[in-house]
Structure 1
Amino acid sequence: MPLWLAATALHAQDSRAAYLGLFDRDGDGRVSVAEYVQYMSRGFMRMDANGDGTLEVDELPGQRGEPISLKAFQDNLRRQFHRLDRNHDGYLDAHELTAPPR
């Protein structure tokens, strides 16, 4: 394997591990559904300007779409998590977390 290719692969592995670290609150090297939902909900919370638990049209990017509740948003995140969990062990490793969605 050429040196540049090995260096690229090492950087990708380090990047995956760093990304996993953003989600992995308990440091066990994997991401649970609760950790995934908690991390991914941060964006919702930042956009919910009035803090009512619903993103109204005027709080959505581009002020387009339908209002969405935090519960509905998190239910969607749980579905995404299970699609990413390709080995169905209830956790995401760094590879599953960074893999393109199916």
Structure 2
Amino acid sequence: MLPTVAAAQDSRAAYLRMFDSNGDGRVSESEYVSWMSRGFATMDSNGDGILERSELPGGRGKPVTLHEFQDNLRRQFHRLDRNHDGYLSARELTAPPR
């Protein structure tokens, strides 16, 4: 059974609420970076602020600092912000990457 449009919109709104720390119904760059940086903290098992090769998925790649990780998140945010208003709507947040 396919989900209804209302259910899809509801799940988008619920996803947005996870990021939206101030409850204004949209996601700022700082909210996006803050929420997405949680993944870095989870992977950084020794807490040194650097994802070493052994901490990266698949154990491959060059080490990544928190600053580099967050710079990448900022670039992602701006690619998702398709109307360039400095915020992500639920639709922008859940849109497939380009």
Higher helix residue share: 1
How does 1:12-91 map onto structure 2 within 5 Å? 12-91=8-87
Aligned alpha-carbon RMSD (Å): 1.3
Whole-angstrom CA distance in 1 between matches of 2:96 and 2:72: 17
Residue 100 in structure 1 maps to residue 89 in structure 2: no
Amino acid at match of 1:81: F
Provide structure 1 residue ranges, at least 5 long, that are not aligned to the other structure.
none
The code of the aligned residue for 1:100 comes to P
Deviating 4+ runs (over 3 angstroms): none
Per the TM alignment, residue 62 of structure 1 is displaced from its structure 2 partner at its CA by 1.2
Measured against aligned partners, the alpha-carbon deviations of 1:12-69 in whole angstroms (never above 9, x if no partner) come to 0000000000000000000000000000000100110111110000111111111100
Q: Distance in 2 between matches of 1:39 and 1:19?
A: 11
Q: Find the aligned partners of 2:5 and 2:21 in 1 and give their Cα distance.
A: 26
Q: Number of aligned residue pairs: give it.
A: 98
Alpha-carbon shift at residue 77 of structure 1 (Å): 0.3
Q: What code does the residue aligned with 2:77 have?
A: F
Larger Rg: 1
Aligned-partner residue type, residue 63 of structure 1 = G
Which residue does the alignment assign to 2:6?
10
Q: AA paired with 1:21? A: R
